[in-house]
Amino acid sequence: MLPFLFNKKSGILGINSRNLDYLFPNNPRRLYRYADSKLETKKIAQRLGVTIPETYGVIRFQNEVKQLADIVKKSSSFVVKPAQGSGGDGIVVIKNTTEDGYIKSSGKVLKPNDLHYHIHNILSGMFSLSGQKDKAILEYAVKFDPIFADVAYQGVPDIRLIVYQGVPVMAMLRLPTKASDGKANLHRGGVGVGIDLGTGKTLTGIQNNRYISQHPETGSPLKGLSIPHWQRLLEMSAALGNETEFGYLGVDFVLDEDKGPLLLEMNARPGLSIQIANQTGLIPRLELINDCLPKLSTTQAKIKFAQETFGLASREPVLSIT
């Protein structure tokens, strides 16, 4: 059990309050489809100048599945993902294409027919949020920034930020582990690591609700990594919050060795475990933003406010941890 006191004093936002006080009033329902479809999200990102992984192609119909090899021919590595997936479900990261077949990030080999079968399943809606028919996106496989070489196991770490009224509120780094099969989603066994919003430096990690100071497979320390492109990440997150009608938003980025930060997805119902990774609750930060919003007229002012107010240097004391 986590040593948090889940009461008002702890400032931990629970699921009911998240929905009633933040999501319902601030995220118009008609907009959910833009966040729930990664193809729509890519369009929004491109409009706002937010960088994304290049799309090699989209498979929409069962009879197009056999075109896979042709769609990905310019790159031996690529990612297959359901346009409307979530939680890492249905995502396959192919790190190389060889005569034996497609090599997953775990080293497992998929024969072309195995991958075709998987794409048929994506199209039938097996991984889709709505359970409806879906599309399969084929995109650039991110080569993660070397800063993560010692803390990522067979996959690409991502960075989740929560943005409220265009103000970055909290951030965490998520690291793939043996259990999470190349994906960084926490419920798959990925590691969440808090981030100091002021500096972009990592704090303590958490895996399966236990605090950890080293990566479970590589043994490398999790604390004190400086996330590259931190200001740019804050700017892109704030822009996504400010330039869309999502008042309360989760955004996921990856850091590519060559291309820098790339947006993976927007989440209109972001999870709450970011608070556990950061050992602090969202409520005091969200309430402070409500109070100060009238004074924060530009995106730059919002970013400066977030860094100064929520950064470790000025941070509220860590919550009751026994």
Ligand X SMILES: Nc1ncnc2c1ncn2[C@@H]1O[C@H](COP(=O)(O)OP(=O)(O)O)[C@@H](O)[C@H]1O
Residues that bind ligand X (CB under 6 A): 53, 79, 85-89, 91, 93, 139-142, 155-156, 158, 176, 183-185, 252, 264-265
Q: How far is the CB of 174 from Mg ion (least distance, A)?
A: 8
Residue 34 interface partner, choices ligand X, Mg ion, none, CB cut-off 5-8 Å depending on type: none
Nearer to Mg ion, 134 or 252 (CB): 252
With CB atoms as reference, the residue minimizing the distance to Mg ion is 252
Q: How far is the CB of 169 from ligand X (least distance, A)?
A: 19
Nearer to ligand X, 160 or 285 (CB): 160
Asked if 36 touches Mg ion (CB under 5 A), the answer is: no
What is d(CA 213, CA 249) in angstroms, rounded to the nearest whole number? 28
Q: How far is the CB of 264 from Mg ion (least distance, A)?
A: 6
Asked if 252 touches Mg ion (CB under 5 A), the answer is: yes
Residue 86 interface partner, choices Mg ion, ligand X, none, CB cut-off 5-8 Å depending on type: ligand X
Q: How far is the CB of 318 from ligand X (least distance, A)?
A: 27
Buried b (16+ CB within 10 A) or exposed e, 34-50: bbbbbebbbebbeeeeb
Nearer to ligand X, 8 or 73 (CB): 73
Nearer to ligand X, 126 or 312 (CB): 126
Nearer to ligand X, 79 or 136 (CB): 79
The interface mask with Mg ion, positions 259-288, x = CB under 5 A, is: ------x-----------------------
Q: Which stretch binds Mg ion (CB under 5 A): 39-47, 93-101, 174-182, 247-255?
A: 247-255
If DSSP states are collapsed to H, E and C, what string results for the chain? CCCCCCCHHHCCCCHHHHHHHHHHHHCCHHHHHHHHCHHHHHHHHHHHCCCCCCEEEEECCHHHHHHHHHHCCCCCCEEEEECCCCCCCCCEEEEEEECCEEEECCCCEECHHHHHHHHHHHHCCCCCCCCCCCCEEEECCCCECHHHCCCCCCCCCEEEEEEECCEEEEEEEEECCCCCCCCCCHHHCCEEEEECCCCCEEEEEEECCEEECECCCCCCECCCCECCCHHHHHHHHHHHHHHCCCCEEEEEEEEECCCEEEEEEEECCCCCCHHHHHCCCCHHHHHHHHHHHHHCCCHHHHHHHHHHHHCHHHCCCCCCCC
Q: How far is the CB of 314 from ligand X (least distance, A)?
A: 30
Q: How far is the CB of 195 from ligand X (least distance, A)?
A: 15
Q: How far is the CB of 222 from ligand X (least distance, A)?
A: 16
Nearer to Mg ion, 129 or 222 (CB): 129
Summarize as ranges the residues that interact with Mg ion (CB under 5 A).
252, 265
